Chain A
Amino acid sequence: MKIFLSVLIFFILIIAAGGCDKGIEPEPESNAVPGQTGFSGKVTFAGTWPANVKRTHLVVFKNAIATSQDFFPPNLAFVIDSIPYRSSSFTYNSVDNNFIPMFVLTPGDYKYIVVAQSSTPALSLERKDWNIVGVYCINGDQSQPRTLTIENGKTTTGVDINVNFSAPPPQPFIDVTGLIEQFAVPQQQKLF
């Protein structure tokens, strides 16, 4: 009987350890004011569009591009719809012009917002396939990227970028390795 009681007590202690809390809890209610979280602005083009450009996007990065990895999520944070070739200007907002709907812009600071062009018909996430042609910057100095701050429930306006094909900005890190990054399949539904 002593053995039985010992085992029973041991068992109850183990189980009690697990019964002390409720596990996963819901997040507290958000204090965000109703509204759309995002940003908007206008991209203006000057000069002659380069030939062979297949894609032109406004791209938001969390931080400046310092390595090949930085052209990829999670540093790659948001992509605006492709801007038609030879446009003189393009007005956008991040809610209506989200090129990759899966990307969700969360509140925070984003330190490198650029307009980039690619000659590949399909979307590529390789740095070497892209040319930076305009930077969201301070006082028109494209070597000084300006930080975009996104607030919960608010749309940050005036995120304008001037692209001058005759005066391109400094190009950040370029890699040629073409590494593949591991990334899980975002399975939207079970197959069966």
Chain B
Amino acid sequence: MKKLIAIIVLLPVINFFGQTGSIKGKIISAQNEPLPGASIFLSGTQTGTASLQNGSFEIKDLPFGRYTIEASLIGYAKKKISYTLIQDSSPLTIVLTEEAIQSQQIVVSAGKYEQKIQDLSVSTSVLRPESISRKNYLTFEDALRLVPGVQTNLEQVSIRGSNGYSKGAGARVLVAVNGIPIYSGDTGDIVWELIPVTDIERVEIIKGPASSLYGSTAIGGVINIITRTSVKNPVTHFRSYFGAYNNPAYDIWKWNSNLRTFYGTELTHSNSSGNLSYTLSFKKFDNMSYRQNDYSKRNLGYLKLNYEFSGDTYLSFFADFLNMNRGNFLYWKDSRNALVPKDEDNGNIVKSNRLLAGLIYHHKFSDMITAELKSSFYHTKFDGYGKELTTSTADLIRNEILSNVKLSDSFLLTLGVESSYSKISSNIFKSPDFFGLGSYLQGEWKVSPEFALTFGLRYDYMKLDTLKSANAAAPKAGINYKISKELIARASFGTGFRAPTPSEVFTTAGVGGGIDVKSNPDLKAETSLSFEAGLLYNYSDNLFFDAAFYQTDYKDFIEPVLTKEAKIQFVNLSRARIQGFEFTSTWNILPGELKFTGGYNYMWARDLDKNTAMKYRPLNSVTAQLDYSPDPFDFGIDFRYMSKAEQIDFNLTEPPINLVVDGSKRVPVYVTNLSAGYNFFIGSLPVKIYLNVSNLFNYNYVEFIGNVAPIRNYSVSFELFF
């Protein structure tokens, strides 16, 4: 026994003298995909290597001993691992997780060609899907709430104040999947549930008008969702979560004695065979909600096929189907019954089906010229069951051809032409059709390694049913100047426009109270003129600052009004100006372990005609995230603040209408979320378990009148890759 103890005690000591070995291992993503090109270094030394195509690495001729290994890869959080090298050391498996919000060294393609984010002339943020699964956001737009400068009112997203709240009346931010817009053909808005979250590679958020490239709807910015590239090895991802809402903060708000729960399950499989790769995903989400008649049941199917004809040519197809059945909660009964809808709305439900299919054909003619054909078909159908049946079916077909031409090493030209056609059949929007044709041209000229100039112009022709056709031209220009290695300046100027949606022009439904909506065939496109100047400062490899001043002037803002004929009508009304300052920072306090991300936005949004604040726009907003990831754990705390909205729809909340009793009640928004995760292996299979608490302090606030945001809820999620 003494001999055995002596051997055990002395063995490490013996091994530490003069013997050498190799640290071997593999770098993989959280999805169990090998990560090539990752840097693996021994902490405090210059000794290291890079991972190979299959993710494997080896650092040879190292004396036995204890090491700290640092693994890093652009787009992923750096990871530090302690490792003891002895005679029979096991190979290492290092799992790198994607960073949530990033602003450095990332390549984005929202400009219709790939650029490094530090080369852009407009403010851009990149969001990684990791933040969605780690924080267990129930819907995609919840993740956007933590991006500085991005605000969501209910499910309507606004970038730097571009939107207030106008449900069912079009969006001012264009959301696209791989550059294919996903606005619906009738109302022109976005259904977030349709987004294939499991297949997201990154989300690019352009903060400013992008009509010069994307045309109408991009007047407030673009959110471009890039899906994952094809995998070479089979990967199956299973994720499930379960959660429950806390009791309301006040006893009189408790309307039901049952535990209000939500759960979701999703199964995704990716594989390849020869040149064909595919991803297939099924999801089911059920949410009882904390409010009465606010339930939602969603079923989602997603298929993506990718066929590589050669290294230069591929064809990609995706189809996304969503079936949804939900209650229709919009306004509370009153503040004493804040989680109960108005009596007349109780029982109203909406059933909808949506199918989005996209086809992308990419061909590289030479190192100088590439071209892409993008086609999409978007079918939407909803039926609203209330006092009356509201129904609408819309089919939107869109085609685009774009080409990138590298005229020289310093000049890149992007040009394209696109068309869209939608046909609507509805009992509230009539049954109009829409045709649009647009062409664009954009050049990027790298005048010197430090200085780049971009300019672009887009022309659109639009014809909405029997209305007179309309035209719009949207120019833009921008500069990027690298003052030094650490300091980068940018400035841009651009115009934007948004054509009225069929729902804004043709809606004729009664909205209750004896008042009807009247169509407006004279409705014009709204336009904007914007300017931005910003500075990016890399204080060190681990500390970044970004500051931007922005201003946008809107003209012919489309707003719903009550005319003196006592009809609701969408009209071109306001001149508005939004000025602001945005500051963001990322600080890797302990690289690979502790990271702070913060942002502040000051936004002065005024209706110039009335000299009042614009509705639902906060003057100040703050976001802050602190993530601590000592392997194998992840801890995170998120905080966001928005000042109290100065202007809301007072006409709805005060006499004589008083449609929303106590609807003027609103407060500053303080929301704190907590998350804790544990990453481990079952055999060789990566597994993640996360616990989340959303709205930790059970703070009651509204984003829209008479509509309490989610109260505190707890959830646990489980993910398995095999």
Contact = CB atoms under 8 A, between A and B. Distances in A.
B291 to A, nearest CB: 13
Given A183-B560, A191-B187, A26 B330 contact: no
A126 B702 CA distance: 35
A190 B697 CA distance: 29
A191 B168 contact: yes
A23 B702 CA distance: 9
A22 B249 contact: yes
Nearest to B590: A4
Contact of A186 (B350, B512, B566): B512
A104 B655 contact: yes
Contacts of B345: 188-189
A106 B696 CA distance: 38
A35 B292 CA distance: 27
B561 A183 contact: yes
Given A18-B699, A26-B336, A182 B666 contact: no
Contacts of A22: 249-250, 697-700
A4 B167 CA distance: 43
Given A27-B335, A191-B392, A185 B511 contact: yes
A184 B570 CA distance: 10
Nearest to A11: B626
A144 B615 CA distance: 39
Contacts of A189: 328, 330, 345, 348, 384, 386, 390
Interface in B664-684: 665-667, 670-672
B566 A192 contact: no
Interface in A83-140: 99-106, 108, 122-126
Given A74-B656, A125-B564, A184-B651, A192 B672 contact: no
Contact of A7 (B560, B561, B565, B596): B596
Nearest to A191: B168
Interface string A6-48: 0110010011011101111111010000000000000000000
Interface string B102-125: 000000000000000000000000
A51 interface: no
B259 interface: no
A76 interface: yes
B515 A100 contact: yes
Contact of B330 (A19, A27, A76, A187): A187
Interface residues on A, range: 35 or more
B626 A106 contact: no
Interface in B682-714: 696-702, 708
A73 B657 contact: yes
A123 B514 CA distance: 10
A15 B639 CA distance: 7
Nearest to A178: B564
Interface string B51-81: 0000000000000000000000000000000
Contacts of A15: 637, 639, 670, 672, 696
Contacts of B382: 191-192
Interface in B242-301: 249-250, 252-253
A27 B615 CA distance: 24
Interface string B548-588: 00000000000111111110100101100000000000010
Contact of B662 (A4, A27, A100, A105): A27
Contacts of B428: 191
B511 to A, nearest CB: 6
A187 B168 contact: yes
A151 to B, nearest CB: 15
B435 interface: no
B457 interface: no
Contacts of A190: 167-168, 328, 330, 350, 384
Contact of A102 (B167, B336, B514): B514
B513 A24 contact: no
A74 B565 CA distance: 16
A100 B515 CA distance: 8
A131 to B, nearest CB: 16
A102 B639 contact: no
Contacts of A76: 656
Contacts of B667: 23-24
A184 B639 CA distance: 32
A122 B47 CA distance: 84
Interface string B502-540: 010000000111110100000000000000000000000
B142 interface: no
Interface string B478-516: 000000000000000000000000010000000111110
Contact of B659 (A3, A24, A27, A102): A102
B560 A11 contact: no
B649 interface: yes
A3 B700 contact: no
A190 B589 CA distance: 45
Most chain B CB neighbours (cut-off 10 Å) among A72, A73, A76, A77: A73
Nearest to B565: A124
Contacts of B639: 11, 14-15, 18
A187 to B, nearest CB: 6
B88 interface: no
Most chain A CB neighbours (cut-off 10 Å) among B330, B338, B428, B651: B651
B464 to A, nearest CB: 19
12 contacts: A11-B637, A19-B696, A26-B338, A73-B657, A103-B655, A104-B658, A124-B566, A183-B562, A183-B568, A185-B166, A190-B350, A192-B384
Given A23-B700, A73-B656, A99-B514, 16 more contacts: A11-B624, A18-B672, A19-B672, A22-B697, A26-B253, A101-B513, A123-B566, A125-B565, A179-B564, A184-B560, A187-B330, A188-B512, A189-B348, A190-B350, A191-B167, A192-B187
Those 10 A-B pairs whose CB atoms lie nearest each other, nearest first: A18-B670, A102-B513, A183-B562, A192-B382, A184-B649, A185-B560, A19-B697, A23-B700, A191-B168, A126-B564
Interface of B: 166-169, 187, 191, 249-250, 252-253, 328, 330, 334-336, 338, 344-345, 348, 350, 352, 380, 382, 384, 386, 390, 392, 428, 503, 511-515, 517, 559-566, 568, 571, 573-574, 587, 589-590, 594, 596, 610, 615, 622, 624, 626, 637, 639, 641, 649, 651-652, 654-659, 662, 665-667, 670-672, 696-702, 708
